[in-house]
Structure 1
Amino acid sequence: MLPQFLTAAYPMERHYFLLPKFALSLIGFYPEQERTFLIRLWSFFNFFILSYGCFAEAYYGIYYIRINIVTALDALCPVASSILSLLKMCCIWWYREELKFLIQRVRVLTEEQRSERKLNYKKKSYTLVTRLTTLLLFCGFCTSTSYSVRHLLDNMLRKAHGKEWIYETPFKMMFPDPLLRLPLYPFIYMLVHWHGYITVVCFVGADGFFLGFCLYLTVLLQSLRDDVTDLLHIKNILNIPTKKEEERIVKQMERLVDRHNEIAELTERLSGVMVEITLGHFVTSSLIIGTSVIDMLLFSGVGIIVYLVYTCAVGTEIYLYCLGGTCIMEACSDLAHSTFSSHWYGHNVRIQKMTLLMIARAQRVLTIKIPFFSPSLETLTSILRFTGSLIALAKSVL
């Protein structure tokens, strides 16, 4: 059976940033979380574990490049995700006040949309965000767990054949020799395993924020579209609206224009918060996916399963970013098209000018602005093509 929060019966309001709140609260980094002394201490501990894990993985991979390229790739593949996860953790902490404002303001604006059509928009988007973020959490959890399972299975097979246990961590990391000996080895092993889960929850939190904000802003744009078309609708085109009706429409139109401007401002502020995270994802996505596919070709047995799940997790991440960007762009285009198709021409000149200005503003599609890239499904296609080229090049070299 599915968990309750994935079913249609789950209360819609509780879907709002459900998975990012759960994930980031685990490590003490959720923006709305009360920053007590224990929470601060716990968040610093997790930051230290993730930071040292990135260093130890990178050092291990670089050290083994000249010795064994396969072992080096086994360390360098996950370290790219770990470093990106550290970047996300730092950005979430640095922009915590801005994120808190965005969470609260978008919540207020979406709660104001209460008509039946708007509730359907909300239910569809809220549920989609929760389910896709859950898929990312599941893939990430399976990836991190599979590294430990692979290590344990390899050592169990070694013991079965009369060989000694290899005292290594599930993720390839360089540690001082005393830490990889009994009695400290089990403690270090658990810390490294927790390092993998910290990486996962940082991805779930940051990626869930991006997708959530994009789809919640999409709901606001869809609601604005309905309000504009309903306001400008004329039941009988032969009946000219009275002066009093036109004054009422002008006042309501001004409020709708202000709403549109606020949505544009929120999107711009979201771009400022997510620019480093999104840019890091798009720059490294091809490298991470390509390396994991190469590792999948080089390994056998459980190693193939590990990197197959890892590839699915990374692919899901980049898909969430591209889907979120596409939803906002399509909602903007739909707003411009629907407004132009309304009965704006049947009103006075002032309303016509306001409507045309809104159409022109909506045609300037809202996007999450990052250097060199624009999150969209077209960008995802380009990334996958470039990844294929990297894989083909690496196969010819190796």
Structure 2
Amino acid sequence: MAPGVFHFSRLDPLEDSFFRISKWILGLLQCWPLDRLNRITKIKLVLHLTILLTAALGEIRSSWLLRKSLLEAIDALSPGVTKLVTWIKLVCFLIYRKDLELILKSLLEHCKTDTKDSRKNYLIRKISYFNNMCCSVLYINAITTSVSFGFKPIVVWAYQYFVNEKRNTWVDLPYRAALPYEDMTEMNKPMYTFMYCFLAYSGLVTTFAVSGTDGTFLCFCMYISVAYQCLQEDFKSTFKVHAANDPKRSKILYNDLSALIRRQQKIIEIFNSFNRVYTFMIFIHFVSASILLALLSINL
């Protein structure tokens, strides 16, 4: 399914291009609002949330234990904060699942109505293609970062083992975490291997969650923007048709303007619902970004 998801163009129908990448990404995490939740998907969802939260708390705990060494503490804290914020975003998606479902359905129906006009259809297809391109770039960057974190310790260990002939070294964990010990090498090798896979998978879940939730936010903003552009086109065409000062047309003009105002109110309702759902997520996103930038500045 994954390769086909990234085969998109401006000619795709709206039903296929609407939130295409975000829908696929969040669908893998069982967090897409329009997907049905059954017993199996609920178990997978709880598992992903548990892995993410456990890894985040372990990394934050590790940063506290390493607080005497500032740079090492920052290295442990930064991914931990990212995972914790990502976990909060996924929880918000669950809390507002029904609201998001209604917003998505309303927005889709609104855009489908606009596609009946060639000019507005062009605008919507253009935005859909742009959204999918941006979400693809976001996903590729995120997955590349996750894979780099996951395989870097193995590459470093292999270099030390085969080139420098250091036979007794451990493979560093992909993320600094204290789960359950401050020094993870206190565990036996099978448990250490399990912990390595656990932390690497938590990074993968973070990758999908970040690109999915942030990509969904981007798509919402762009589709609401194009909805207003389409409404602007409607007003232009309406006034162009009724430009002549003909009293007989006043009733028709009144009806057309009333319909446009109702469409505008619908867009405002969608925007208000979107604003209510995303306000907290935007807040924690900017707070976490500020913290990470501050930590990065200290690290530099």
TM (normalized to structure 2)?
0.90
Deviations 1:297-351 (A, max 9, x none): xxxxxxxxxxxxxxxxxxxxxxxxxxxxxxxxxxxxxxxxxxxxxxxxxxxxxxx
Deviation of 1:234 (Å): 5.2
Q: How many angstroms apart in 1 are the aligned matches of 2:71 and 2:158?
A: 22
Q: How many angstroms apart in 2 are the aligned matches of 1:182 and 1:280?
A: 38
Cα gap change, 1:39 to 1:289, in 2 (>3 Å): same
AA paired with 1:70? Answer: L
Deviation of 1:168 (Å): 3.8
The answer to whether structure 1 residue 88 and structure 2 residue 93 are counterparts is no
Cα gap change, 1:143 to 1:180, in 2 (>3 Å): farther
Of the three residues 156, 159, 163, the one matched with 1:157 is 159
- State the number of aligned residues: 292
Deviations 1:110-135 (A, max 9, x none): 00012111111011110111111111
Partner residue, 2:264: 260
Q: Is the 8 A contact 1:224 1:260 kept in 2?
A: yes
Q: How many angstroms apart in 2 are the aligned matches of 1:11 and 1:248?
A: 32
Question: Kindly, what percent of the aligned residue pairs are identical?
Answer: 20
Cα gap change, 1:166 to 1:196, in 2 (>3 Å): same
The answer to whether structure 1 residue 98 and structure 2 residue 99 are counterparts is yes
Cα gap change, 1:115 to 1:180, in 2 (>3 Å): farther
The residue correspondences of 1:100-179 to structure 2 (distance < 5 A) are: 100-113=101-114, 114-160=116-162, 161-163=164-166, 164-176=168-180, 177=184
The residue correspondences of 1:122-271 to structure 2 (distance < 5 A) are: 122-160=124-162, 161-163=164-166, 164-176=168-180, 177=184, 180-233=187-240, 239-243=244-248, 245-271=249-275
Q: How many angstroms apart in 1 are the aligned matches of 2:141 and 2:294?
A: 17
Q: How many angstroms apart in 2 are the aligned matches of 1:13 and 1:168?
A: 45
Q: How many angstroms apart in 2 are the aligned matches of 1:230 and 1:216?
A: 21
The residue correspondences of 1:294-333 to structure 2 (distance < 5 A) are: 294=296
Q: How many angstroms apart in 1 are the aligned matches of 2:4 and 2:139?
A: 15
Q: How many angstroms apart in 2 are the aligned matches of 1:77 and 1:60?
A: 11
Q: How many angstroms apart in 1 are the aligned matches of 2:148 and 2:6?
A: 26
Q: Structure 1: which 5+ residue stretches go unaligned?
A: 295-390
Q: How many angstroms apart in 2 are the aligned matches of 1:94 and 1:3?
A: 27
- Between 196-205 and 122-131, the greater mean CA deviation after superposition: 196-205
Cα gap change, 1:40 to 1:4, in 2 (>3 Å): closer
AA paired with 1:224? Answer: L
Q: How many angstroms apart in 2 are the aligned matches of 1:178 and 1:42?
A: 29
Q: Is the 8 A contact 1:167 1:185 kept in 2?
A: no
Q: Structure 2: which 5+ residue stretches go unaligned?
A: none
Q: How many angstroms apart in 2 are the aligned matches of 1:208 and 1:200?
A: 12
